[in-house]
Amino acid sequence: MSTATIAEDALKYTHVAMLLHWTIALLILANIALGLAASLLPTSVLPDTSVRFVIDTHKSIGITVLGLAIVRVLWRLTHRPPSLPGVFAGWEKTAAHVAHIALYVLIFALPLSGWAHDSAWNAAATHPMHLFGLVPWPRMGFLMHLDPALKEQLHTQLGTLHTWFGYALYVVLALHILGALKHQWIDRHSVLGRMLP
Ligand code: HEM
């Protein structure tokens, strides 16, 4: 391997980090589409069984993201990412780090708030959850066993929290993507290449 190739490799993420990054990104985009479809499309457009299928798939993808987020944090804690290029201004490095931390928080906050919202659903007991229709998945017991009136109230509040985490994700994701595109097209220092094989 030439010295130039070794130097370039030192600036890139590992293949595991790339795989986790793009898998989580694709699953989150799919889940935003499914979550919005379930909450926005009138039932005249989606019949009841399709709505259920959309929401159940959304829940399964969300729990998968939670599992991958745990793997990703463990990987991140044991592997140092390549440092940002020296040409970055100080404020750009700070903005990138803040956006990355916010994204880590949100990839946990979204599935956990969705799972909590679903666990406080009064019909949860009669609608058991199965990941992709196959693997039984528990609800959060401390929420499921509350008084029905309190559960109803928490179900609504946790649903609102889940939606707000979604709004926060749109903002941080937009900043993350715009930042990558600015470096790619305006500053002409490819950061996208660091996350691509
Ligand atoms: C990657 C993780 C997740 C993302 C990005 C995500 C995103 C979203 C979004 C954008 C909505 C629409 C909110 C709105 O604007 O009204 C939504 C709704 C919802 N989510 Fe999630 N979610 C995730 C995980 C989960 C999980 C793990 C569960 C449950 C186990 C869940 C349960 C729900 C439910 C029940 C709704 C309401 C659907 C309806 O309106 O009937 N979500 N989610």
Q: Where are the domains of the chain?
A: 3-195
Q: Provide the 10 A C-beta neighbour count for residue 81.
A: 14
Reported as type and span, the H/E element at residue 78 is helix 48-78
Give residue ranges with CB within 6 A of ligand 1: 28, 31-32, 35-36, 38-39, 55, 58-59, 62-63, 65, 110-111, 114-115, 117-118, 162-163, 166
Give the angle subtended at the CA of 11 by the CAs of 8 and 12, to the nearest 5°: 95
| pLDDT above 90 as % of the chain | 74
- CATH code of 3-195, in short, is 1.20.950
Mutation pick for ligand 1 pocket among 29, 34, 39, 46 (CB with most ligand atoms within 8 Å) = 39
Q: What is the pLDDT of residue 185?
A: 87
Q: What is the rounded average pLDDT of the residues 163-185?
A: 94
User: In the predicted model, is pLDDT for residue 169 greater than 90?
Assistant: yes
From residue 50, alpha-carbon distances to 6, 28, 136, 192 in Å are 51, 20, 20, 37
162 CA distance to ligand 1 centroid (A)?
Answer: 7
Please identify, by atom number, the ligand 1 atom nearest to the C-alpha of residue 51. 41
User: In the predicted model, is pLDDT for residue 1 greater than 50?
Assistant: no
pLDDT category, 2, cuts 50, 70, 90?
Answer: very low
104 CA distance to ligand 1 centroid (A)?
Answer: 17
User: In the predicted model, is pLDDT for residue 6 greater than 50?
Assistant: no
154 CA distance to ligand 1 centroid (A)?
Answer: 15
182 CA distance to ligand 1 centroid (A)?
Answer: 30
Q: What is the pLDDT of residues 24-80, one digit of tens each?
A: 999 999 999 999 999 888 777 767 788 899 999 999 999 999 999 999 999 999 999
pLDDT category, 10, cuts 50, 70, 90?
Answer: low
Burial class (CB in 10 A: 0-12, 13-18, 19+), 184: middle
Please identify, by atom number, the ligand 1 atom nearest to the C-alpha of residue 112. 27
Distance CA 61, CA 57 (A): 6
41 CA distance to ligand 1 centroid (A)?
Answer: 14
User: In the predicted model, is pLDDT for residue 146 greater than 80?
Assistant: yes
